[in-house]
Structure 1
Amino acid sequence: MRTWRRRRHTVRVRLTALYGGMFLLSAAGLLAITNAVGLSGTRVSQSAPAATPPEEPMMPAAARQIASLQAQLAESQAAYTNRLLIASAVALAVMGLVAIVQGRVVAGRVLRPLRTITAATRRITADSLHERLAVPGPDDEVKDLADTIDDLLERLEASFSAQRRFVADASHELRTPLATMRASLDVAMAKPGPVPAQTAVLAGRLRTELDQVDRLLEGLLSLARAQHASLTGRTTLALGDLAAEALDARAAAITAKGLTVESAGLAAAARTRGNGTLLARMVDNVVDNAVVHNQDGGWIRLSATTGGATAELVVETSGPVLSQEQADRLAMPFQRLAADRTGSGDGSGLGLSIVAAVAAAHGGTLRLRARPEGGLTVAIALPSAGVPA
């Protein structure tokens, strides 16, 4: 935002200098022509000799009087020339200020449609692609630019809608063959008689892969549902309660890895309003990420606070040292770090991307910060719903 404003003001300054310079040059040229004509007439009158009759000798008194009059005339013409030059300089300075003001006004009027287009474009996000600029006015270059942006928004809206429909439809359609495969596998393993060891091992591997695909489809559905931003069934929930429930659900995994959990900072006042299913999935993904991608014997620190109009959930974890670039990539779909850096090769890379999508759908933000000592800090900021009476 700051860079955009600096560039916009730079363009206005350039246009002001251009228009002001043109006005100033025009005024300077006009004054130069006026002074040239006036001073040339003065020089002609000064150089003209006094007409005296050649036949009669001039009387001394008359000659002295004529000389005095000529001197007075020369002084008057010199004073007139000085006043003309001073007045021209003052007029040029005044015209310079007027030219700068006029140039700035004209530059502002020229850039006003562009500022309107820029502000309207910045208001349009991935969740409001249906909006259009619809700039009125004659068919000039500015309107052509606005119409081009409207066409681009229309294509983007169609592309986003098609992508979301594809993800949702594909996830739904793939559930049926997965369920069929799982049922066929259970029927084959439930037949009477001894089951060969290789068949049992193969069945276990297939179940593991089916579970992984099922989690992937569930993640895709959650991501598509969050990106649609069609939040129905809004309710007020406490972020601390959701985090506590997620910790209780993973008590066995926490004990198996020997993790130390600090959750004394889960304030009940940190409440937000939104879709309960999506918010629960968001907090569940954050806590699951903190448990799965943590080192054995590590720690987890959770806090839920509220300040002003924002409720924030912060989850800090121990772990290997990561760069901030690696941390930023974790919020992108299907982005995972190597197993030797996270300590786990499980997951589909959708966990934190779902968190980011759910937070954005509720008007919040997700911030990921790599800790210099190792590990990750995940901060979710959402609009606060206040404390109910």
Structure 2
Amino acid sequence: MRKWRGPARTIRLRFTVLYGVMFLLSGVGLLAITNLVGLGGTTVSQSAPPGAAGAEPATLAAATERLAWLQAQLADTHAAQSRRLLIGSAVALAVMGVVSLLMGRIIAGRVLRPLRTITAATRRITADNLNERLAVRGPDDEVRALADTIDELLGRLERAFAAQRRFVANASHELRTPLTTMRASLDVALAKPAPVPAQTVALADRLRTELDQVDRLLDGLLMLARAQHGSPPGRTTLSLGRLAAAAVDARSDGITARRLTVDSSATGDGAWTRGDETLLTRMIDNVLDNAVAHNHDGGWIRLSTATATATGATAQLVVETGGPVLDQGQVDRLAQPFQRLGADRTRTGYGSGLGLSIVSAIVAAHGGTLDLRARPTGGLRVAVSLPAAAAPAGVPQ
């Protein structure tokens, strides 16, 4: 015969035992208080009936009258005792009800403490510290099983993230090498001393353009993977206004070529935040590239930065452009990879559909929000909100 091991130490059994003992103690206390109140103070009146003091009943009528008086006294005593018992029971019930609630809260808190520990530890674990584990100690019950399952899940996620990082690094190396080789082959073919046919030159220019597009696409995918990896490890205090001004200056040639009017008077040096300088610079570059590339000749761009305190201190960057009226449903999908509004907004062939998705990933990695709105009068409004930071010492806000 198999050896009997007894019931498993489950949460259900522990709750059953704990609350069973609690209500048992409550019942014992209730009975004790009820008996103390009901039995204490019970008295019997010793006064004699009228006209019978100091004399024995001489007749049957006198005996009947005395018996009736004794019954009335007994009824009054029983009624008084019942009232005291009822009041005592009500008081005891109220007291033990409050005590039971307090005991239940304390016991439930002690039993559920491991779950709160698991919740707090799980919230601390992000994509950057997947090597951490809950490592909950205690009896082999449902809570321990849940913690072990979460630890196993974290292990699988850690291996998946490591594989993704290896793939990104290998893809960066393996894909850039053939692109470089193809460019070198084109240059060698066009550098031959013999006259090169015009069709070959046109084909080489077309291939260079496509290679540049693939290179930008590869760079965008790598940047998107880096931004989606998690919180940037190195953070410095940066001014969104200064980064936006530098981005506008770097694109002065393209802005002039398309005769765009840029209003950046509301940028200034404010809107300070903390983050990775490379990622935040790429974020602003993508927003401005989108505003320049997907604009019409002779159009306009408006930039503004500010620090808002209405819903918490946030550093905001807003870029608006003119143009045709857009559908908000399509605009909402622009933060997803490879999403475009249509051929009229990608006629230059420059876009890869990754610009605003990279912006969204960088903003999310810095704990901010991205708001894309179709302007009622036409064009697009891109608003970036990041947690604000104090300006460095000696720098005006």
How far the C-alpha of 1:183 sits from its partner, in A, is: 0.8
How far the C-alpha of 1:273 sits from its partner, in A, is: 4.8
Of 383, 386, 392, which residue of structure 2 is paired with 1:381? 386
Who is 2:373 aligned against?
370
Q: What is the letter of the counterpart of residue 376 of structure 1? A: R
Who is 1:349 aligned against?
353
How far the C-alpha of 1:186 sits from its partner, in A, is: 1.4
How far the C-alpha of 1:72 sits from its partner, in A, is: 0.5
Gaps of 5+ in 2: 1-14, 39-57
Q: What is the correspondence of 1:20-169 to structure 2 with a 5 Å cutoff?
A: 23=23, 27=27, 59-169=60-170
Q: What is the correspondence of 1:195-206 to structure 2 with a 5 Å cutoff?
A: 195-206=196-207
Q: Helix, strand or coil: the match of 2:263?
A: strand
How far the C-alpha of 1:171 sits from its partner, in A, is: 1.3
Q: Helix, strand or coil: the match of 1:381?
A: strand
Q: Distance in 2 between matches of 1:327 and 1:120?
A: 37
CA contact (8 A) 1:295 1:343 kept: no
CA contact (8 A) 1:294 1:343 kept: no
CA contact (8 A) 1:238 1:268 kept: yes
Q: Distance in 2 between matches of 1:280 and 1:230?
A: 13
Deviations 1:48-103 (A, max 9, x none): xxxxxxxxx96332332222112111211122123222322332333333333333
How far the C-alpha of 1:324 sits from its partner, in A, is: 5.0
How far the C-alpha of 1:150 sits from its partner, in A, is: 1.4
Q: Distance in 1 between matches of 2:156 and 2:362?
A: 24
Who is 1:278 aligned against?
279
How far the C-alpha of 1:155 sits from its partner, in A, is: 0.9
Who is 1:46 aligned against?
none
How far the C-alpha of 1:149 sits from its partner, in A, is: 0.9
Deviations 1:133-188 (A, max 9, x none): 22222221111111111111111121112112211221122111111101111111
Who is 1:312 aligned against?
316
CA contact (8 A) 1:310 1:381 kept: yes
Q: Distance in 1 between matches of 2:159 and 2:258?
A: 46
CA contact (8 A) 2:127 2:230 kept: no
Q: Distance in 1 between matches of 2:327 and 2:109?
A: 45
CA contact (8 A) 1:294 1:342 kept: no
Q: What is the letter of the counterpart of residue 87 of structure 1? A: G
Q: Distance in 2 between matches of 1:98 and 1:322?
A: 64
Q: TM-score, normalised by structure 1?
A: 0.76
Q: Helix, strand or coil: the match of 1:115?
A: helix
Gaps of 5+ in 1: 1-14, 39-56
Q: Distance in 1 between matches of 2:151 and 2:276?
A: 32
Q: Distance in 2 between matches of 1:372 and 1:101?
A: 57
Q: TM-score, normalised by structure 2?
A: 0.75
Distance 1:86 1:131, change over 3 A: same
CA contact (8 A) 1:263 1:301 kept: yes
Q: What is the letter of the counterpart of residue 127 of structure 1? A: D
How far the C-alpha of 1:129 sits from its partner, in A, is: 2.2
Of 340, 359, 376, which residue of structure 2 is paired with 1:336? 340
CA contact (8 A) 2:363 2:370 kept: no
Q: Helix, strand or coil: the match of 1:264?
A: strand
Deviations 1:203-257 (A, max 9, x none): 122111100111112223333444365645x655432232222222222332343
Q: Distance in 2 between matches of 1:242 and 1:332?
A: 24
How far the C-alpha of 1:307 sits from its partner, in A, is: 5.2
The percent identity for this pair of structures is: 66
Distance 1:319 1:166, change over 3 A: farther
Q: What is the correspondence of 1:203-242 to structure 2 with a 5 Å cutoff?
A: 203-226=204-227, 227=229, 231=233, 236-242=237-243
Q: What is the letter of the counterpart of residue 122 of structure 2? A: T
Distance 1:324 1:384, change over 3 A: farther
Distance 1:229 1:82, change over 3 A: closer
Q: Helix, strand or coil: the match of 2:370?
A: strand
Q: What is the correspondence of 1:166-205 to structure 2 with a 5 Å cutoff?
A: 166-205=167-206
Distance 1:202 1:349, change over 3 A: same
Q: Distance in 1 between matches of 2:135 and 2:363?
A: 30
Q: What is the letter of the counterpart of residue 350 of structure 1? A: L
Greater fraction helix? 1
CA contact (8 A) 1:319 1:376 kept: no
CA contact (8 A) 2:301 2:319 kept: yes
Who is 1:7 aligned against?
none
